[in-house]
Structure 1
Amino acid sequence: MTQLRSLFLAAASFGTILSAQGAFAQGFTVTGSYGSRDLLGGFPSDGSSDEAEVQLSYAGQGPRLGYNLAVTVGDDDDSVDFDDSFVEAYAGGFAFGLGAVDRNWSPSRFSSLILSDNADPIPSAYVVKRQYTAFDTPWLSWIGPWKGEFFVGQTDSDGNPDNTKLMGMRLQLQPVDGFEIDLVRTAQWGGDGRSESLKTFLDVLTGDTNEGEASEANQLAGIGLSWTLPEEIAPLRLYAQAVGEDESGGLPSCFMYLAGVEGVGTAFGLPTTVTLEGATTEISDSENGFCGPGTAYNNNAYPGGYTHHEDVMGMPMDTDSRMAQLIIEHQLARFALDWSVGYYEINTTNRPDHRLSSTEVDGTILRVGASQSWGDTTLRGGVAWQSFDLDNDDIDAGMGVSFSVSRTF
């Protein structure tokens, strides 16, 4: 407790110093949460895992600087982390930051084949442009409105070299209103015993990884598309994502896929959003005999896989799996209700070394979540039921509950 008190006294002093640089909005938030069990993909509304946690955070936002200094303490004596913490500087429409922040690189609001919030946030240095704008210069204005992100972070998983690096780059284009193109790429590289020289970094950055010290890099790349139909046609958005686990002729190959449709309207007098989506991480053999079963999120250079803290950084269902889910959300000013039903087929190739299950399993996950706000206090809760066991991940079939309460001062 002495360490936590010292940390937040330092945070308050830091905020005072920054606020002197200009107008700042600041707030101190306390959040307590509890989840009764683990669940594939987490609980609705608050994402709680199977433990009690308390998070203290101190956030500030100004025209040139922003920060969130957070520490989370779990009921395990060793469970202390600084996830969700960051410090950012703003200039020219860009944010330059250091921190451990969640990312969901996908046209879907719920799922990503390449980078999702399934794993813990990755500590990283990053540059991000969060708003669509076009270049002013005539040489580049033809690109149209765009935004994007580049980061270099560090992951930690059993089976991978300590301090394995992860590089990510994303470019989102909006050539016409309502239509978005999402280009994404990540690469695992470096780590203890591996080259992290400037040349290796540049080779990984440019994709020159067929030979030399950068040849051990594990790359994923793909494209996402999102089309919001004109209102006079239908209140729908269609989206899809394809991510390749290999490279052929300088382009991604050996693909896994995600697609969905999202509609907005009114149900029972409530503003409602309905999403239906499906995905597969099954990858077929290529014409040259590459890829095939077990390809997604696995590679020889990093035996622990495409993971952080042993959790896949893409789809929670991991390799050789498929799913379809229906998600319905009702949103009012201070109250939200969401519920979903999903069908999953895990480890369709019966691989005993699959990270989730030693055999093929299938079944259903039902989730119901709600949140209610009263001024600066928000209460969230969820109930979920999973019909199948995941023996390699120690997740049993059954029902669980979660709740959290947060207060901002």
Structure 2
Amino acid sequence: MKTIDGILTRRTVTLKAVVSGTWEGRTVTVEGMIHALRDMGGMVFLTLRGPEGVLQCVFDRPALLEDVTEECAVAVTGVPHREPRAPGGVELAGLELELLSRPAGPLPVPISKRRLNLNLDTELSLRPVVLRALRERSIFRIQAGLCRAFRDTLHSLDFTEVHTPKIVHAGAEGGSNIFRLDYFGRKAFLAQSPQFYKQMMVGAYERVFEVAPVFRAEKHSTARHLNEYTSMDLEMGFIRSFEEIMAVETRFLQNAMDLLREEYAADVERLGIELPDVSSIPCLRFDEAKTLAAEKYGRPIRDPYDLEPEEELNIGRYVKEELGSVFVFVTHYPSKKRPFYAMDDPADPRFTLSFDLLFRGMEVTTGGQRIHEYQAQVEKMLARGMHPEEFESYLMIHKSGMPPHGGLGIGLERLTARLCGLDNVRHACLFPRDLSRLEP
């Protein structure tokens, strides 16, 4: 009887290992997709694409490549040697080529070009192929690095990863921006946030996090909104101040920039990213930030309870010019504009112990301290015209005892877009969902 022992024996060498120089001067076989072909008359240059990047291969026998085209899957056997002009500084002198598969037709877009220069709608319609282009791949390698740094940071701080339901019986954020669905004849919703569940898990694990999709049924079509996006959430107990939550996020960003600098350098360079200094992040109170930006840039305050997109841009501009930072924590948002579970500031209940993190003039994070006492939570619900009996399972944690706690949610696509200098958050989403798009 055949058994599987879990040992994976590679038939080939990874592209990453070849580029590292480990196999220099030795015959190796590397698998990948043909990203580009250039016939230089007697010499053919083949760019092989693998998970980690590309490898330049050169053949002095063009007959070996007569039947191949871009996006053929191949196995190339050759000898690596140093070549400063090649990507990664290594070139493979090709000896043999095995054709593994070929495309059924021509590509709808020339993905080997450095920039595709497609309009957004065309790019998104051709997404399964466009994502093979090196620049687009680098965006999502950077995004993967951010997720990796988030997980690594929180694991190092004794957080437990959890996975919460996305079909729920009540919205966590309130309002009308919630997708409704029929759940076997019962009314249900797609989760706007894991808020209730991550608070519940504080009672079990004290420190928890999740990286998962959330859904907002907002009828907008802006460069900063998606109807489904990935939220990096954390919640932590036994805090003495909501600034502890801000400190955890700052630690994550510090680790993320270090990781990108060390292990994603090729992607950072390809995208022209300037990794920001996050050794410390300035903080401004909500009302102070609005006033400073209004006075410096001559834009009157129209909404005293929230930040408009132009105000966020001006606050980001002010902090960059005056404090030399592209990040700023804006704290103490008005209670009127924060959810019912946000803890009011004991010094002035008109404001909350909450914050947003702005990055280059756009909000990428919302967080703060939560109400942990049962009576205080019920009273705030009643003051807002809510019905506590509809939140019985949520209020169970308050009845059963909760430590002072708080948390945050980071919009992964927004963070990626701001870091990579993208003008639309859809560029930072593999397959965006908005008012008009349900495929691919």
* TM-score (structure 2 length as normaliser): 0.22
* TM-score (structure 1 length as normaliser): 0.23
Kindly indicate which of the two structures has a greater share of residues assigned to strand. 1
Kindly indicate which of the two structures has a greater share of residues assigned to helix. 2
Query: Which has the greater radius of gyration?
Result: 2
